[in-house]
Structure 1
Amino acid sequence: MFTCNPCNRRYDDQASLDFHLLFSPCHAHKCGSCSKYFTSEADLIAHAAEAHHHAFECKPCGQVLNSRDLLRVHRESNLHERMTNSPVNAFFRSWPNFPFHVQLPPHKSWEQLHMFYGWDDQAPEYRAAWIRYQDALASEVTIWFGDVLDLESWQKLCRAVGIDPLPGTCADGYMAIRNLYVNLIDLIQWARTGRVDGEVKRWKNNADLFEYSIATRRIFERDVTANDKPNVVLRHLTNCMLPR
């Protein structure tokens, strides 16, 4: 039997457990302060704002810390600098009166923006906004992983997907990630939240990754595959990193 530690549900095989961990809403969003679970990021954010008044928010980048000391350390960090200059944050904050929550993953904020303005999917306004959103995602990749000559960027990529040992050169980094299949929005959110190493799920092939990306609406389509499907393959990340 395979047991889900957060909720103690049991499954007959690893594949069923993996599916549960990816898609079950019962424990997808955990409060770091009190360990309660919520079915959506929006519910979690509302809970944190109401129940944990001791939190300290960094106004420029939207990060929430548990103490003034942590807030002070955060403001001197690379995370603060990059979140302050985040193209994704700038895109969502450019829409008048839209209630943007920086803690939400980009694809969730896009869904909320879509509903907020009530766009028809065929409307020119929708398509123009979608293109701007995709451009913001591409720029966000560059903010976090964009220096192809920086070994730290390659090592960060490898940490995100759990590659060990970390590469010792940029060339080793390229070789390590070139055949991996990872959703780029998952990768962006990992960088934006400073999560634990190896948390970004690796997929066996492009077909499985494509199915996951469409099902969860985590779509990055700045580059497209030969059959015009959204390109969400990590090996194509190098196309965003290399000079054009």
Structure 2
Amino acid sequence: MVSESFFSRFAGFKPNPSVPAKDEFARLAHARNWKENGGKYRKEWAKFIAWEFSKHYGPQATKLENWQSLCHGVGIEDGIESITKCKKALKSVHVNIVDLVDARRTGKKVKTFRSQAALRNYTLRTERIFPKNAAKEDGFLKALLREIF
């Protein structure tokens, strides 16, 4: 599994796959004495959250099933018979990507926002930020990226 390979680099750390991603990463960071927002913390957070997303939604942006899984994850059920239709449907969705990962980790429904401004306010207030560079590299995530800063 993708996230297990991430955690396997840290001897003695036992991951709990059912807690929110940010909480689990904070526990790892504390165990490793990484300062929050320090360079090592940010670098490892980017690796962790990207691997978590890939674990839950698939690593291949060329597979229709992965796009459909992403659409289902944000509540889109109809009109997703092709990758193009999935991308088009996702353009109108405003969702926090960290929350999307957590929905799969915890089994809870992901919250979507009515507007980009509402998503921006929530993301800045909660500091649940998916690293922009990691998102730009991933075809799925690019479909969900919204201007936050």
Shorter-chain TM-score category? 0.7 to 0.9
Partner in structure 2 of residue 179 of structure 1: 92
Q: Equivalent residue for 1:27?
A: none
Q: Which residue of 2 aligns with 1:140?
A: 52
Unaligned runs of 5+ in 2: 145-149
Is this contact kept in 2: 1:182–1:209, CA < 8 A?
A: yes
Partner in structure 2 of residue 19 of structure 1? none
Give per-residue Cα distances to partners, 1:171-204, cap 9 Å, x unaligned: 11110002311111222233345x47xx211112
Give distance in 1, aligned partners of 2:140 and 2:67: 14
The one-character-per-residue Cα deviations of 1:14-69 (angstroms, maximum 9, x if unpaired) are: xxxxxxxxxxxxxxxxxxxxxxxxxxxxxxxxxxxxxxxxxxxxxxxxxxxxxxxx
Q: Does 1:203 align with 2:113?
A: yes
1:238 and 2:148 correspond = no
* 1:142 counterpart SS class: helix
Amino acid at match of 1:135: K
Q: Which runs of 5+ in 1 are unaligned?
A: 1-84, 225-230
* Larger relative contact order (CA 8 Å, sep ≥ 6): 2
Cα root mean square deviation, aligned: 3.0
Alpha-carbon spacing, 1:217–1:98, altered in 2? closer, same or farther (3 Å)? farther
**Aligned pair 1:90/2:2, yes or no?**
no
Normalized per residue, which structure has more helix? 2
1:237: Cα distance to partner? 1.1
Opposite residue 61 of structure 2, the aligned amino acid is V
Q: Distance in 2 between matches of 1:107 and 1:178?
A: 26
Does the 8 Å contact 2:52/2:101 carry over to 1?
A: yes
1:205 Cα deviation (Å)?
2.7
| Larger-Rg structure | 1
Structure 1 position 107, deviation (Å): 0.6
Q: Who is 2:35 aligned against?
A: 120
Aligned residue among 56, 74, 77 for 1:164: 77
User: How many residue pairs align between the two structures?
Assistant: 140
Cα distance in structure 2, aligned partners of 1:176 and 1:103: 29
**CA shift in 2, pair 1:90/1:152, >3 Å:** same
